Amino acid sequence: MSARNPGTELDLSWISKVQVNQPAVLRRAEQIQARRTVKKEWQAAWLLKAVTFIDLTTLSGDDTYSNVKRLCYKAKYPIREDLLKALNMHDKGITTAAVCVYPARVSDAVKALKASGCDIPVASVATGFPSGQTHLKTRLEEIKLAVEDGATEIDVVINRTLVLTGQWEGSDFIKTSTGKETVNATFPVAIVMLRAIRDFFWKTGNKIGFKPAGGIRTAKDSLAWLSLVKEELGDEWLKPELFRIGASALLLDIERQIYHHVTGRYAAYRDLPMS
């Protein structure tokens, strides 16, 4: 993904003027989940769309070439071919938006994707993930190495020490959290972030992307995230260049829901290929 945000002069008056009323945002978060549902073919179409937003992720200490390879294959074929055919969606080239791995596994992922002949980008968490508490020099070096290995997107952990002391950084995408915290992607936090993205767009004309990560496991959750973005930012943000969902288990649940939609039966896990 190419850089979009040319940046702007740091104007802290923007930040000091921001008012966020927590109880009101909590109420809004509850409402969005209750007020918008999609059913039947709308649900199927939305779920397939959600697949195209997924950064299919594995971030485990015991990741090896074999499970990264499996992940990459699943990224290319996220939904069983016969199910897509039944929906007449098999020719839409539905893949996940990216695969996301640790820097040391980037070369594995690039290799696996190349082998299966597809151009899904490889994203990598870098910069002392998940705490960001390493020296700037090693963090920059980490990014450089990941890019050299073929990563085209880098999820940077911002230096929260600097944020908490009021020193901000810029970005193309903002992400709710690393997915490794005790509390990860929550609706109220997302609402505040989405409103900031919209305000920044209104002020500068630059569109910043949004990526919730951590704890998004069910198809229903993913639909709620899609409608949240649709409601707060609009349809123009509902494309992989501006919206990603960082997840690993989510894809399987979406596939099960599609299976149910197509067949009218609930799937057992063995009915669907693992990643």
Partner 1 sequence: MAATRAESRAREIFTTLEYGPVPESHACVLAWLDTQDRCLGHYVDGKWLKPEHRDSLPCQDPVTGEHLASCLQAQPEDVAAAAEAARTALESWSGLPGASRAQHLTRLAKMIQKHQRLLWTLESLVTGRAVREVRDRDIPLALQLLQYHAIQAHSQEEALAGWEPMGVVGLILPPTFSLLEMMWRICPALAVGCTVVVLVPPASPTPLLLAQLAGELGPFPGILNVLSGPTSLVPVLAGQPGVQKVAFCGSVEEGRVLQRTLAGVGPELGLALGAESLLLLTEAADVDSAVEGVVDAAWSDRSPGGLRLLVQESVWEETMRRLQARMERLRGGRGLDGAVDMGTRGAAARDLAQHYVREAQSQGAQVFQAGDVPSDSPFFPPTLVSDLPPAAPGTQAEVPWPVVVASPFRTAKEALAMANGTPRGGSASVWSERLGQALELGYGLQVGTVWVNAHGLRDPAVPTGGCRESGSSRHGGLDGLYEYLRPSGTPARLPYRSENLNYETFGLAVPSTLPAGPETGPSPAPPYGLFVAGRFQAPGARSSRPIQDSQGKLHGYVAEGGAKDVRGAVEAAHQAAPGWVGQSPGARAALLWALAAALERREPTLALRLERHGVEPKAAKAEVKLSVRRLRDWGARAQAQNHSLQVAELRGPVLRLREPLGVLGVVCPDERPLLAFMSLLAPTLALGNTVVLVPSRTCPIPALDVCQDMATLLPAGVVNVVTGDQDHLARCLALHQDVQALWYFGSAQGSQFSEWASAGNLKPVWVSRGCPRAWEQEAAGAGPELELRAARTKALWLPMGD
Q: Which residues bind partner 1 (CB under 8 A)?
A: 19-28, 31, 34-42, 44-46, 48-49, 86-89, 92, 195, 202, 226, 230-231, 234-235, 238, 261-264
Least distance from partner 1 to the Cβ atom of residue 110, Å: 29
Nearest residue (CB) to partner 1, 1 versus 196: 196
Nearest residue (CB) to partner 1, 9 versus 235: 235
For the purposes of burial, counting CB atoms within 10 Å of the CB of 125, is it exposed (0-12), middle (13-18) or buried (19 or more)? Answer: buried
Q: Are 221 and 253 in contact (CB under 8 A)?
A: no
Tokens of 186: 């929550």
Gap between the terminal Cα atoms of the chain = 25
Catalytic residue among 211, 220, 230, 239: 211
Nearest residue (CB) to partner 1, 44 versus 72: 44
Nearest residue (CB) to partner 1, 65 versus 266: 266
Least distance from partner 1 to the Cβ atom of residue 80, Å: 13
209 φ, ψ (degrees, to nearest 5) = -85, 170
Q: Are 153 and 124 in contact (CB under 8 A)?
A: yes
The 10 Å CB-count burial string (b at 16+, else e) for 172-183 is bbbbbbbbeeee
Least distance from partner 1 to the Cβ atom of residue 232, Å: 9
Nearest residue (CB) to partner 1, 28 versus 211: 28
Helix (H) or strand (E) holding 101: strand 98-101
Q: Are 71 and 118 in contact (CB under 8 A)?
A: no
Q: CA-to-CA distance for 194 and 275, rounded, in angstroms?
A: 31
Least distance from partner 1 to the Cβ atom of residue 2, Å: 24
Catalytic residue among 74, 76, 175, 207: 175
Whether residue 175 lies in the annotated active site: yes
Whether residue 211 lies in the annotated active site: yes
Q: CA-to-CA distance for 156 and 59, rounded, in angstroms?
A: 14
Q: Which residues contact 31 (CB under 8 A, 6 or more apart)?
A: none
Least distance from partner 1 to the Cβ atom of residue 102, Å: 32
Q: Are 177 and 247 in contact (CB under 8 A)?
A: no
Least distance from partner 1 to the Cβ atom of residue 162, Å: 21
In this structure, the strands spanning 245-247 and 209-211 are unpaired
Nearest residue (CB) to partner 1, 29 versus 68: 29
Q: Are 208 and 174 in contact (CB under 8 A)?
A: yes
Residues involved in catalysis: 175, 211
